[in-house]
């Protein structure tokens, strides 16, 4: 037998063993905090969000497609479900006592600082599909989105999620069913009249990830702290509040979420979003694979200037077992955290930049893009391994 087959079998055995403790519910029941609860009259509505098991974890059977477009000068976001004509949730019925509740959530940089968003989600249908959409008016872009300004363009970035929750009748329990998160960016002409390009990056999660078998400690997004360090082992925190453009900096991310810290979970590949006054950049850091369980170290450079800087980090939260290699990266739970400094300046001897210096420097040297000088090779290797294992299973 090939070594890969042996690995695969060990993995499947591992999955079987690790799931032994979870009770098996009937088709008319759902598992809520370790107990099988009768879904009663919610069964039909629930059908749409039925989850399948793939590679040892739950998956949404029906993934929506995500889109954004300029409509009457405003930005409209939409999620479209194929064969979703019969979808029945609070959005379709307009009732908050219905079985399936939909909520819009909004975040700060890198999915930190989650809040409820009051924008109205509307539902429209065609013969075969169902679309949920919400609109953000252009006069709200500056206050709601993260902004990146250059001489001739404005880029907005934002982080949202639509959460889907089952409310069982007679106060019988609440169960999160799906979390349709996404990050978008949209590049406009200065006058906001033209949408030059846009990008939307979905992150779909089935159920929540739980730290315990009883399902008491469950999250879509786990919290962590982010610390700037003076070296790659992170023995001492960085003792300055002003960073220098182009200098190597080190970050330590430590999971603080109850149940997930110090145990088998570890922040993996991360994406950093740096937000300053009129500046928003994505940076792909290098993962150093140092630190204890529950921790990760990263190395990165910031090739732009900024004032009042927040560094947000969103990492995939993986288990420190080989099992992760078979999972689909996009669906891993996230672990997020942020830290702040007063500025990113041009040289170690300069003072923090003026807003004008920020605009001219970034327009010329780092406009609209991430300014990464080297792409992380980790992500690429990971994708290749996934593809190889995928072919093996087929
Ligand atoms: C762009 O970067 C170079 C090299 O760091 C620098 O000399 C130049 O002044 C920068 N441009 C602006 C407009 O600040």
CATH assignment at residue 376: 2.60.40.1930
- 132: in domain: yes
Model pTM score: 0.85
- 149: in domain: yes
In the reported structure, the alpha carbon of residue 364 is separated from the centroid of ligand 1 by a whole-number distance in angstroms of 7
Ligand 1 binding residues, C-beta < 6 A: 360-361, 364-365
Q: Are residues 176 and 312 located together in one domain of the fold?
A: no
Q: What is the mean pLDDT of residues 296-320?
A: 95
- 171: in domain: yes
- 387: in domain: yes
Q: Which of 147, 175, 207 is the last residue of a domain?
A: 207
Q: Are residues 288 and 386 located together in one domain of the fold?
A: yes
Q: Are residues 87 and 224 located together in one domain of the fold?
A: no
CB 121 within 8 A of CB 162: yes
Q: Are residues 202 and 257 located together in one domain of the fold?
A: no
Residue minimizing CA distance to atom 10 of ligand 1: 361
pLDDT of residue 318: 87
- 231: in domain: yes
Q: Are residues 245 and 381 located together in one domain of the fold?
A: yes
Identify the DSSP state of 90. H
Residue minimizing CA distance to atom 4 of ligand 1: 365
Q: Which of 165, 184, 207 is the last residue of a domain?
A: 207
Work out the pLDDT band at 15, boundaries 50, 70, 90.
very low
Work out the pLDDT band at 323, boundaries 50, 70, 90.
low
* φ, ψ (nearest 5 deg) of residue 51: -110, 145
Identify the DSSP state of 330. G
Gyration radius of the chain's alpha carbons: 22
Structural domains of the chain, count = 2
Residue minimizing CA distance to atom 13 of ligand 1: 361
In the reported structure, the alpha carbon of residue 312 is separated from the centroid of ligand 1 by a whole-number distance in angstroms of 26
Q: Are residues 301 and 368 located together in one domain of the fold?
A: yes
Q: Are residues 380 and 329 located together in one domain of the fold?
A: yes
In the reported structure, the alpha carbon of residue 361 is separated from the centroid of ligand 1 by a whole-number distance in angstroms of 6
Identify the DSSP state of 237. B
Backbone conformation region of residue 362, classed left if phi is above 0, alpha if psi is from -120 to 50, else beta = alpha
Q: Are residues 240 and 187 located together in one domain of the fold?
A: no
The atom number, within ligand 1, closest to the CA of 363 reads 13
Residue 190: other Cβ atoms inside 10 A: 12
Q: How far apart are CA 117 and CA 54, in angstroms?
A: 32
In the reported structure, the alpha carbon of residue 365 is separated from the centroid of ligand 1 by a whole-number distance in angstroms of 6
Q: Are residues 230 and 199 located together in one domain of the fold?
A: no
Q: Which of 160, 183, 207 is the last residue of a domain?
A: 207
Whether 214 has a pLDDT exceeding 70, the answer reads yes
Number of H helices, E strands in the chain: 6, 25
Residue 103 lies in domain: 59-207
Which tops the pLDDT comparison, 11 or 273? Answer: 273
Closest CA to 295 of 310, 309, 313: 313
Q: Is 200 helix (H, G, I), strand (E, B) or coil?
A: strand
- 92: in domain: yes
Q: What is the mean pLDDT of residues 48-75?
A: 84
Average pLDDT, the chain: 86
């Amino acid at each position: 037998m090939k070594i890969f087959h042996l690995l695969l079998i060990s993995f499947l055995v591992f999955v079987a063993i690790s799931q032994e403790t979870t009770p098996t519910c009937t088709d008319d029941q759902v598992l809520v905090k370790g107990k099988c609860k009768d879904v009663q009259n919610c069964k039909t509505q629930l059908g749409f969000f039925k989850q399948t098991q793939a590679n040892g974890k739950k998956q949404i059977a029906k993934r929506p497609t995500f889109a954004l477009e300029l409509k009457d000068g405003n930005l409209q976001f939409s999620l479209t479900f194929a064969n979703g004509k019969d979808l029945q949730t609070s959005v379709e019925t307009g009732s908050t006592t219905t079985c399936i509740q939909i909520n819009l959530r909004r975040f700060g940089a890198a999915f930190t600082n989650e809040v409820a968003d009051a924008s109205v989600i509307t539902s429209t249908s065609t013969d075969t599909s169902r679309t949920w959409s919400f609109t953000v008016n252009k006069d709200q872009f500056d206050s709601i989105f993260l902004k990146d300004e250059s001489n001739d363009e404005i880029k907005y970035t934002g982080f949202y999620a639509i959460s889907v929750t089952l409310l069982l009748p007679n106060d019988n329990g609440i169960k999160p069913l799906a979390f349709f998160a996404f990050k978008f960016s949209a590049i406009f002409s200065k006058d906001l009249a033209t949408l030059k390009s846009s990008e939307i990056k979905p992150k779909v999660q089935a159920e929540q990830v739980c730290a315990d078998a009883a399902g008491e400690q469950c999250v879509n997004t786990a919290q962590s702290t982010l610390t700037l360090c003076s070296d790659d082992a992170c023995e001492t925190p960085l003792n300055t509040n002003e960073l220098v453009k182009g200098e190597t900096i080190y970050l330590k991310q430590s999971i603080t979420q109850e149940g997930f810290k110090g145990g088998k979970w570890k922040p993996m590949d991360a994406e950093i979003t740096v937000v300053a006054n009129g500046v928003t950049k994505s940076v792909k850091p290098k993962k150093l694979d140092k630190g204890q369980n529950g921790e990760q170290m990263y190395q990165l450079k910031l090739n732009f200037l900024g004032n009042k800087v927040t560094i947000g980090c969103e990492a995939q939260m993986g288990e420190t077992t080989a099992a992760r290699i078979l999972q689909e990266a996009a669906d891993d739970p996230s672990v997020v955290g942020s830290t702040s400094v007063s500025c990113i300046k041009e040289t170690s001897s300069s003072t923090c930049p003026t807003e004008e210096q920020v605009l001219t420097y970034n327009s010329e040297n780092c406009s609209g893009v991430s300014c990464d000088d080297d792409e992380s090779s980790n992500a690429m290797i990971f994708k290749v391994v996934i593809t190889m294992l995928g072919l093996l299973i087929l």
